[in-house]
Copies of this chain bind each other. A is one copy, B any other.
Amino acid sequence: MNIDRYMIKDTDGKILHKLDPNDTGGLKSKTDADSKMIALKDRLAELQDIFFAQKKHALLIVLQGMDSSGKDGTVKHVFSGINPQGFTVTSFKKPTLDESAHDFLWRVHKQTPAKGYISAFNRSHYEEVLVPRVHEGQDKAETKRRFRHIRHFEEMLSEENTIIIKLFLHISKEKQLEKIQERLQDPTKHWKFDVSDLEERKYWDDYQEAYEDIFKETATGYAPWYWIPANHRWFRNYLALNIVVKTLEQLDLAYPKLNSPTPDISELISPRH
Q: Which residues of A contact B (CB under 8 A)?
A: 55, 58, 98, 101-106, 109-110, 112, 114-116, 145, 149, 152-153, 155-157, 159-162
Are B116 and A156 in contact (CB-based, < 8 A)? no
Are A156 and B153 in contact (CB-based, < 8 A)? yes
Among candidates B103, B105, B160, residue contacting A103 with C-beta atoms closer than 8 Å: B160
Instruction: Offer 22 A-B interface pairs, CB within 8 angstroms, sorted by A.
Output: A58-B101, A58-B102, A101-B114, A101-B116, A102-B112, A102-B115, A103-B112, A103-B156, A103-B160, A103-B162, A105-B109, A105-B156, A106-B109, A106-B110, A106-B112, A109-B109, A109-B110, A149-B159, A149-B160, A152-B153, A152-B155, A153-B156
Are A152 and B156 in contact (CB-based, < 8 A)? yes
Chain B residues whose C-beta falls within 8 Å of the C-beta of A102 in the assembled complex = 58, 112, 114-115, 160
Number of identical monomers bound together in the oligomeric complex: 2
Chain B residues whose C-beta falls within 8 Å of the C-beta of A114 in the assembled complex = 98, 101-102
Chain B proximity of A132: nearest CB distance (Å): 13
A58-B101, A103-B157, A106-B110 provided; 7 other pairs, C-beta below 8 A? A102-B112, A102-B114, A102-B115, A149-B156, A152-B153, A152-B155, A152-B156
Chain B proximity of A174: nearest CB distance (Å): 39
Chain B residues whose C-beta falls within 8 Å of the C-beta of A109 in the assembled complex = 105-106, 109-110
> What's the Cα separation between A101 and B113 when bound, in Å?
9
Q: Please list the 5 inter-chain residue pairs (A to B) with the smallest Cβ-Cβ separation, ordered nearest first.
A: A103-B160, A101-B114, A152-B152, A149-B156, A101-B115
Given A109-B105, A109-B109, A145:B116 Cβ within 8 A: no
Are B112 and A110 in contact (CB-based, < 8 A)? no
Task: Output the nearest chain B residue to A159 by Cβ-Cβ distance.
Answer: B145
Chain B residues whose C-beta falls within 8 Å of the C-beta of A110 in the assembled complex = 106, 109-110
Indicate the member of A98, A102, A116 with the most B CB atoms within 10 Å. Answer: A102
> What's the Cα separation between A145 and B160 when bound, in Å?
10
Indicate the member of A149, A161, A162 with the most B CB atoms within 10 Å. Answer: A149
